[in-house]
Structure 1
Amino acid sequence: MPDRTRRRFTQAVVLAISSCSFAPAWTAGRERGGGAQDVRRHGARGDGTHDDTLAFQAAIDALPTDGGTVNVPAGDYLIDPIVGVQLRSRMLLSMAPGARLLAKPNAAERAYVLNAHRVHDVEISGGRVIGERDAHKGTTGEWGHGVMIRGAERITVRDLHVSHCWGDGISIGGAKVAGGAIVPSRDVVIERVQCVGNRRQGLTIGRSRRVRVYDSSFLDTAGTLPACGIDVEPDAGDVAEDILIERCTVRGNRGAGIQLYKRVADATVRDCLIEQNRGHGVLALGASACVIEGNRIRRNGLGGVGVRPGSREVTLARNEFADNGPSPGRTKDGRARPGKRHVSIAESAVAIKVNADNRFLD
């Protein structure tokens, strides 16, 4: 091949590659058919006062057997979370940037705006889910979630803003099936999501395998404990494992920024900004084989990273710590308060490594 021809061929290949949009490997398996429905065509008004729950469900149920896309144009859609919108397998719920799902005020302890229960190959993209915590009619319960994912596989939530929920912004966990067995959620991706001002957690990761959280923000959670930005906490009887939290901002939460709580294994927190949380920046209790690396961890009230009893094989590497822990002085009962605490490790924790490449700025 002549040099000129070779150069032209090479340039064409580079141009073709640069002009293509490749789906990341972790979303390549979301499969659905080409059917399409619009919630407006099924009676949704989007005026913020008419209950549009049944119209959303009708649009979803109208998809063909091989699934497809349900489009939600801009508007304010009142959704009754006691009924909830039940997502089905092999579908995309595609919301316009101006689409807002408004949770109808209720007194229920458990109520979910969007519910992905025992389904597979589901995507939720765009728009907002706004909870009803400021207008909630009850005083008990902590499970009024914006998005509920239970016992589901190959789920992606992207470019979504979830705020002011009575419980969690997003909750991922297992589902009971016949005979009492628990089926965990598997292969869940949370990407470019914002969870702001929710009452219990920004994001809960419970009984699950392979969860990826990318480029998202978890801010200002407060109202009922644990009040974490992200709480990885499987219920008894199962585990959460193979968890990656990467390039996220976790700020201003009443509890810990990120909590790895009991029966958590193979979790990585990488390249995140974790700051101004009232609890620890990262708190690990009963966690194993976890890595906390490349994060900026600063101005967290109780300390930067706390590794508590039952934890083992936790590695801290390449983190930058600044101004974590309470100011030195005395507690209310007169005891001396030691001051800044970037890293605290329980004596009973096993095989904890704090590498020399961590930076402590004060």
Structure 2
Amino acid sequence: MIRQPETCNRDLSRLRGPRLGMRVKKEMCLALLLISFLPSEAAHAVTVRAADFGYNPVDATSALQAAIDSGADTVIVDKMAADWTIQPVFLNSSNQRIVFEDGVKVVAKAGSFHGIYDCLFLANAQSNITLSGYGATLQMRKDDYLSSDYTDSEFRMAIRLGGCTNVTIEGLTILDTGGDGVCMASWGPDRPWCENVVIRDIVCDNNYRQGISICSVKNLLVDNCIFANTNGTPPASGIDIEPDKLFERIDQVTIQNSIIHANAATNGGIQFALNNFGGEPYKDARVDINHCTIVGNSNQGMWLWDTTSGLTVRNSLFVSNTGYGVYQLYNNLGTLSVEHSAFWDNGSGATRMANVAATSVTGVDPKILSTDINHPYYMHLSADTATTISQGASDGRPMGARPVAPWSGLVLVKEHFTGDPGWIHGPDPDYAGNSFGYSATSRAGGETGEIGGTVHSIGRSIPGTPPVFYGKDLVKPLTLEDSFELNWNTEDGADYYGEQGLNSYVRFGYFDRDAITTWYPVHMGLQMGDDAIYLIYSMHETGWTQQKLLKAGISGTTGHRLRFIYDPDAGPYGRISGQYNDEPIVSMDLTSGDRVRW
């Protein structure tokens, strides 16, 4: 049930189910439990919405803290019109699930967090806590904390757990902290470690000290996470496994399917530093790093003070780190052997002291498609990656955290692009168009071609709205053997068409020259204008455009959806087809002459 805030101060101890204070016959006990106990538990599950506790967009701390302190089983942090701007919040309630709705942004309040240990969320000695936030963001103000107004500190974390048990953190994007994205540590000798922690599907980006600090924990799973762009103060690792007290422990830690990328590390993207405690705790540390991608970190991909018999590194990629892929400083307890992994383009070589096992490779390019965190195939492998990598893991899967890109030859364009591919120049293009296409050029910065286009006016620039260019890298080059799909609606160009009533185009083509005006040899699309839709196409070597009326009686400048498809496998030489508002309006088989000189 959703409980209203005015009832949130009730004693929750009475919500744990009834006691059976009667004598019953033996054969009736099971039935009574089923009828009385279980439904009562379900009936008393309590959910509250944090906004109901007095959300204030200027400072929402009291509302969020009150919702948490209510002790409700579930706290929903609502998607509001503005951010949740907060000062430090304390997770004081065990047995609680906090759900950040998709699109929620929790932001550290400017001018706050002056305490050197101030964290966005802090939990000490709590149990059974979940922070779930798929599509939600936690963001602090790292640059502010570097100013003279703040005491220097590396401990302003987004989430800090001290001696907590049974914790799940999932789905969140964590940005710009003044310390770590997430930190797990002890809470004094009586709570010397966190235990049973799951961290999955989170992104820690641009944090000050580490992406995640693993200081003291038993039974930790880190799965499908990204730790990137840590910078500001040492060690600046994506992942730092580093106890700092003799009573702390590192035991049964699994890090899998995760990306450690572009961290400004003083030692390594992953740091394994158990030198602050010794003896049996050191030797008993057990960590498994499996199916991870460690790319582009300063210094080493992974740095070890020393190994232990319980450390395994397998099925991973170490690529383009400025130092070694794996660097082991001492071998007092043995030498690490890296299994079923690939090393490529690391500045100082594959390893120092650590062994490259016979199951690993050092001379094969993994062919990572993109290291852009916003790319749909970020850290995926290209389809032409050698099978020694794409099938080289011990389980037959690709090495690293991501699979081979599921390239199907289909390109779907339904967005505004951000880079200028430079296909048309000058302030006054001489036709109106929302034109997209493939070019073999790489003006947007990629190496495999790009999709791009323009929005502009007829013969003049609309005041205040000059031509806008778009460009987006492709994940592989296109040819006439690839299918191509383009979707567009009039709202996409509303600033240029919807208010002006200009002709609108949805058009794509394959080019082998630098100018978009050279539609060669394939140029086809749909044009809206004069209250009608036309097919425009030029499939021949000459490049002359032909036009065919498809649908008349079209009115208005909004609510029009156009879809255009090129299918190279249909018909003897391929087929082009189009739809208007999901209605088929054209289908044309190509001839042999339509594909000449490609």
Which TM-score bucket, shorter chain as reference? 0.7 to 0.9
Aligned mates of 1:356, 1:312 — CA distance in 2: 18
SS in 2 for 1:111: coil
Is structure 2 residue 195 aligned with structure 1 residue 186? yes
The residue number in structure 2 matching 1:58 is 66
Corresponding letter in the other structure for 1:279: N
SS in 2 for 1:254: coil
Equivalent positions of 1:332-343 (< 5 A) are 340-343=348-351
The residue number in structure 2 matching 1:355 is 357
> What is the deviation of 1:52?
1.3
Is structure 2 residue 115 aligned with structure 1 residue 108? yes
8 Å contact from structure 1 (residues 56, 85) kept in 2: no
Equivalent positions of 1:117-266 (< 5 A) are 117-126=124-133, 127-136=136-145, 137-176=149-188, 180-237=189-246, 238-255=248-265, 256-262=268-274, 265-266=285-286
The residue number in structure 2 matching 1:37 is 48
The residue number in structure 2 matching 1:322 is 344
Question: Number of residues paired by the alignment?
Answer: 300
Corresponding letter in the other structure for 2:358: A
Is structure 2 residue 296 aligned with structure 1 residue 294? no
SS in 2 for 1:110: coil
Aligned mates of 2:254, 2:261 — CA distance in 1: 18
Aligned mates of 1:353, 1:287 — CA distance in 2: 12
Corresponding letter in the other structure for 1:42: F
Is structure 2 residue 94 aligned with structure 1 residue 89? yes
> What is the deviation of 1:87?
4.1
> What is the deviation of 1:320?
0.5
SS in 2 for 1:210: strand
Aligned mates of 1:210, 1:113 — CA distance in 2: 25
8 Å contact from structure 2 (residues 179, 207) kept in 1: yes
Q: Which is richer in strand?
A: 1
> What is the deviation of 1:53?
1.3
CA deviation digits over 1:134-165, x for unaligned, max 9? 22241511000000111000100000110000
Aligned mates of 1:194, 1:247 — CA distance in 2: 13
CA deviation digits over 1:227-259, x for unaligned, max 9? 000001111212212111100011000011111
Question: Is the deviation greater in 223-232 or in 127-136?
Answer: 127-136
> What is the deviation of 1:181?
4.1
Give the unaligned 5+ runs of structure 1.
1-32, 326-339, 346-351
SS in 2 for 1:283: strand
- Counting aligned pairs with the same residue, the percent is 24
Aligned mates of 1:308, 1:236 — CA distance in 2: 21
Aligned mates of 1:233, 1:205 — CA distance in 2: 6
> What is the deviation of 1:95?
0.4
Question: TM-score, normalising length from structure 1?
Answer: 0.79
Corresponding letter in the other structure for 1:291: T
SS in 1 for 2:220: strand
Aligned mates of 2:245, 2:186 — CA distance in 1: 11
Aligned mates of 1:56, 1:311 — CA distance in 2: 48
8 Å contact from structure 1 (residues 143, 168) kept in 2: yes
8 Å contact from structure 2 (residues 74, 99) kept in 1: yes
Quick one: structure 1 residues 88 and 286, their matched pair in 2 at CA, closer, same or farther if it must change by over 3 Å? farther
The residue number in structure 1 matching 2:292 is 272
8 Å contact from structure 1 (residues 189, 211) kept in 2: yes
Aligned mates of 2:235, 2:105 — CA distance in 1: 27
Consecutive aligned runs of 4 or more in structure 1 exceeding 4 Å deviation = none
CA deviation digits over 1:89-139, x for unaligned, max 9? 100110011111111233321111111210111100112110111222415
The residue number in structure 1 matching 2:328 is 307
Q: Pairwise CA RMSD of aligned residues?
A: 1.8
SS in 2 for 1:342: strand
Aligned mates of 2:118, 2:333 — CA distance in 1: 34
Question: Is the deviation greater in 252-261 or in 131-140?
Answer: 131-140
